[in-house]
Amino acid sequence: MDIIETIKEQIANNPILLYMKGSPNAPQCGFSARASQALMGCGEKFAYVDILQNPEIRANLPVYANWPTFPQLWVSGELVGGSDIILELFEKGELQQLVKAAVGNGEA
């Protein structure tokens, strides 16, 4: 399977997916740390991909997503954005609604 197909499959199979540097419990950059903390603050499980362990995804996802930086949050198959957008949505209470709706859709 080529890497773009892998990325598409990851996004399709995970209602909430964070592409980040490191893991939520051991982030490898400040932006990834803030993004994963905001997501954890929503109280729902989410999937993540450590792009440092997946150099092909790290190289190809920005092209596929048309978004140059990491982290990248995908909810219900749609790119939400990076760290600044994630934090802004969290502070407004909108991220929590987005995450809960995505999890709810998965259970229908």
> 2: closest CA among 53, 55, 56?
56
101-106 long-range contacts, Cβ below 8 Å, gap at least 24? 101/76, 102/15, 102/16, 102/44, 102/75, 102/76, 103/15, 103/16, 103/44, 103/45, 105/15, 105/76, 106/15
Give the pLDDT confidence score for residue 105 in this predicted structure. Answer: 55
On the question of pLDDT at 107 being above 70, the answer is: no
Topology classification of domain 3-97: Glutaredoxin (3.40.30)
DSSP 40: H
pLDDT of 15-38, one tens digit each? 999 999 999 999 999 999 999 999
Any known ligand binding at 83? yes
Any known ligand binding at 70? yes
User: Cβ(73)–Cβ(17) under 8 Å?
Assistant: yes
Any known ligand binding at 84? yes
The whole-number average pLDDT for the span 78-104 is 97
On the question of pLDDT at 44 being above 50, the answer is: yes
Taking residue 32's Cβ as centre, other Cβ atoms within 10 Å add up to 26
- Domains of the chain, residue spans: 3-97
The whole-number average pLDDT for the span 61-83 is 97
Any known ligand binding at 21? yes
